[in-house]
Amino acid sequence: MKKLDSIDLRVLTILYNDADITNKELAAKIGIAPSTCLERVKRLKQSGVIKGAFIDVNLNTIGGNIEAIAAIRLQPYSEKIVNDLRDDLLLYPEVLSLYHMGGSYDYFIHMSVKDSEHLRQFVFKNITSRDAVTTVETSLVFEHSRSGILPNFDDES
């Protein structure tokens, strides 16, 4: 893929903060024609720079009253076990994100549930019931914040 230019980086910066912006508004903020802007966004998607766009849902409004992170260890540890766990857990609506980790834990599972009993049952039925899971430490999330600032990895800064 070719190196991103300053216009591509401005497109990414604005979309990173507000993926819901219209193409016309995006083009106006950057100072380019809407057709040019649309082509740039399309190219960024096709090249894999933009992997998707997401909405940020207030989970409390749909019954997700508790967020938690479960840190788990696997033994034995193999590519098949890691991949099977990922593929299986992503099928559950409670699972928001999975993080395959290096370090003392193999996975962090970010989830949302309706109450403490839902959390307890989800962990028992879908995590600790697996033969390869040796340790589960579940922590409650009191607040989750996301930065709206796109990281800058430019060598010239």
pTM of the complete model: 0.83
Measure the N-to-C terminal CA separation of the chain; round to a whole number of Å: 22
* Residues of each domain in the chain carrying CATH 3.30.70.920: 59-141
Give the SS3 label for residue 26: helix
pLDDT digits (tens, 9 = 90+) for 99-142: 999 999 999 999 999 999 999 999 999 999 999 999 999 999 99
**CATH tag, 6-46:** 1.10.10.10
DSSP letter for each residue of 53-113: ------GGGGT--EEEEEEEEESS--HHHHHHHHHHHTTSTTEEEEEE-SSS-SEEEEEEE
Domain 59-141 has CATH 3.30.70.920: yes
Backbone angles phi, psi at 30, to 5 degrees: -90, -25
Q: Summarize pLDDT for 19-31 with one digit per residue, the tens.
A: 999 999 999 999 9
Give ranges for CATH 1.10.10.10 in the chain. 6-46
- Measured CA distances, 78 to 49, 82, 84 (Å): 30, 6, 10
Predicted local distance difference test score (pLDDT) of residue 157: 47
CB 51 within 8 A of CB 65: no
1 pLDDT more than 90:
no
Amino acid at 117: E
